[in-house]
Amino acid sequence: MAAVTQYIGQLRPLFSVARPPFLVLPATLITLGAAASAVGNGSFSATRTGIALIGLIALHVSVNALNEAADYESGIDERTDATPFSGGSKTLPAGDVNPTTVYRFGYATAAIGMIIGVWFLIVIGPILIPIYVIGAISVLGYTEYLTKVGLGEIGAGLGLGGLPVIGTALVQSGEISPVGVLAAVPAFILTFNLLLLNEFPDVDPDRYGGRANLIHRFGRVWGGRLYAVTTVVVPIIIILGVIAKVFPRTALLALLGVIAAFRPVVWSIQTPEERPPASVLRNNVIFILLTNILLTIGLTLPIILSGILT
């Protein structure tokens, strides 16, 4: 028992840099992609969905670990005032683990995602290659390259937003439907906004570390306006999807998530030059996760009801 306890203690810092609470996001993306395939193509595989989930979680852990190690070495970690939603886990500054170990952990989890990706490539075919290429750039190049040229938010929106939805839909049957493509759009915007709003508390530390986020390029006021506009676009896309009969009418259930976005939008318009309170960051996360979950339920509800009634 003592040996097990010691082993768990050694792994605890790696669990910390993996940021477990953040790993709910990939679960919502995978289920959304699977729901889009079930509705658009009539195909669903629980096994392939589960394998895709493992792969995306591994890649998300990789991004988190590599980002933490790079932020520690650049000095960003020492200067951030962490919140539950931004600023890092502070595991490295506390001396609980060294950056070399975290880098190895990040590359190891990336390798797990790559192995799963290769398996899907063999099973599904080359249609996945464009998604893999963009996804690899988003994961491995996020901290060192994308954040330095103002593309970090777009990289996050693709790698942990739109692409997983399309990719999960594809691995079900090798085909993609208008439902899968359209469902990926709000997923992209939501993750884009997750990163954008979480950057507000760390503007100065990020600048010190050489980052060139959108806030650095356009300022806090315009960054706040961008957040507000893109947030409003999310329910508009869902409504248009229903009007165009790409989404079933039950997809409007996802509009309930907008309630959680009210406080972040008000803050982003009225006081973007101030540090966002934790409640604003929390509500943004709730809005993002809830919208993904409710859209998944809304897409699959007709299928579920049809099965019950028949």
Q: Which two tokens stand for residue 184?
A: 């990926």
Average pLDDT for the chain: 89
CATH code for the domain of 273: 1.10.600
Only one residue has tokens 């409007």, namely: 252
Residue type, 167: G
Percent of the chain with pLDDT over 90: 65
Residue 5 within any structural domain of the chain: no
The verdict on residue 185 lying in a domain is yes
Whether pLDDT at 215 is above 50: yes
Average pLDDT for residues 178-197, to the nearest whole number?
96
| φ, ψ (nearest 5 deg) of residue 13 | -60, -35
pLDDT of 281 over the 60 cut: yes
Q: Which of 155, 125, 157, 134 is nearest to 143 (CA)?
A: 155
pLDDT category at 227 given cuts 50, 70, 90 is very high
Can you give the pLDDT at residue 28?
A: 97
Q: Strand runs (DSSP E) across 3-55, as ranges?
A: none
Residue 86, classed as helix, strand or coil, is strand
Assess if residue 294 is contained within a domain.
Answer: yes
215, 199 Cβ separation under 8 angstroms: yes
pLDDT given for residue 297 in this prediction = 97
- The token duo for 148 is 């330095």
Within-domain flag for 202: no
Name residue 120's amino acid.
F
Does residue 248 lie in a domain region?
A: yes
- Residue 6 pLDDT grade (very low, low, confident, very high; cuts 50, 70, 90): very low
- Work out the average pLDDT over 17-24: 87
Higher pLDDT: 28 or 202? It is 28
| Contact predicate 88/188, CB 8 Å | no
Which of the four pLDDT bands, split at 50, 70 and 90, describes residue 307? low
Q: What is the CA radius of gyration of the chain?
A: 20
pLDDT over 70 at 122, yes or no: yes
Mean pLDDT of 244-257: 96
User: Under 8 Å CB-to-CB from 281, ≥6 apart: which residues?
Assistant: 83, 84, 85, 86, 197, 198, 201, 264
Residue 21 CB partners (closer than 8 Å, separation 6+):
84
What domain range is 147 assigned to? Answer: 12-197+207-305
Q: Give the total number of structural domains in the chain.
A: 1
pLDDT of 74 above 50? yes
Phi, then psi, of 160 in degrees rounded to 5: -125, 35
Is residue 310 situated within a structural domain? Answer: no
Indicate if the pLDDT at residue 309 is higher than 80.
no
Which two structure tokens, joined as six digits, stand for 5?
Answer: 């306890």
The number of CA neighbours under 13 Å toward the Cβ of 87 is 18
pLDDT of residue 10: 60
Report which DSSP code applies to 277. Answer: P
Is pLDDT of 287 > 80?
Answer: yes
* Short-list 34, 213, 13, 168, CA closest to 94: 13
pLDDT of residue 310: 55
151-166, pLDDT tens digit by residue? 889 999 999 999 999 9
pLDDT of residue 37: 95
Does residue 118 or residue 207 have the better pLDDT? Answer: 118
Q: What's the token pair of residue 269?
A: 């318009």
Share of the chain above pLDDT 70, in %: 95
Residue range 49-60: mean pLDDT, rounded: 95
pLDDT of 147: 87
Is residue 5 predicted with pLDDT exceeding 50?
no
Q: What does 239-269 look like in DSSP terms, one character per residue?
A: HHHHHTTSS-GGGGGGGGGHHHHHHHHHHHH
Local confidence band at 22 (pLDDT 50, 70, 90 cut-offs): confident
Question: What residue has token string 């679960």?
Answer: 27
Q: Residue 1 domain-assigned?
A: no
Rounded to whole angstroms, how far apart are CA atoms 173 and 170?
6
Helix (H) or strand (E) holding 152: helix 152-157
**Residue 63 structure tokens:** 């991004």
**pLDDT value, residue 85:** 76
- Mean pLDDT computed over 60-85: 84
Residues 6+ apart with CB under 8 A from 245: none
Is residue 39, in this structure, part of any structural domain at all?
yes
* CA nearest to 247, candidates 302, 170, 304: 302
Mean pLDDT of 121-132: 92
